[in-house]
Amino acid sequence: MKPAHFARLKHTELEHLTRRHFLSKCSTGLGAMWLAGMGGRAWGESGILNKDPSNPLAPASPRFAGKAKRVIYLHMAGAPSQHELFDYKPELQKLNGKDCPKEFLEGKQFAFIQGVPKMLGPQFEFKQHGQSGAWISDRLPHFASMADDVCFIKSMHTDQFNHGPAQLLVHTGTQNLGAPAIGAWATYGLGSENQNLPGFIVLTSGGKNPDAGKSVWGSGYLPSVYQGVQCRSQGEPVLYLDDPEGITRPLRRRSLDTLDRLNQQIAADVGDAETITRIAQYEMAYRMQMHATDAFDLKQENEATHQLYGTEPGKESFANNCLLARRLAERGVRYIQLFHWGWDSHGVSATEALNQGFSDRCKEVDRPMTALLKDLKQRGLLEDTLVVWGGEFGRTPMQENRGGVGMAFIGRDHNPGGFTLWMAGGGVKPGISYGETDPIGYEAIIDKVSVHDLHATMLHMMGFDHEKLNYPSQGVAQRLTNITKPGTKLVKGILA
d(CA 281, CA 224): 9
> E-strand spans in 311-378?
335-341
pLDDT 10s digits, 128-180: 999 999 999 999 999 999 999 999 999 999 999 999 999 999 999 999 999 99
Poorest-pLDDT segment among 246-255, 357-366, 375-384, 421-430: 246-255
d(CA 409, CA 210): 24
More confident residue, 181 or 236: 181
pLDDT 10s digits, 312-333: 988 899 999 999 999 999 999 9
Write down the pTM of the prediction.
Answer: 0.85
Confidence label for 25 from pLDDT (cuts 50, 70 and 90): very low
d(CA 368, CA 352): 22
Assign residue 154 a region (left: φ > 0; alpha: ψ between -120 and 50; beta: otherwise): alpha
111 CB neighbour count, 10 Å cutoff: 16
% of the chain at pLDDT higher than 70: 82
pLDDT 10s digits, 252-281: 677 766 777 777 777 777 766 667 666 666
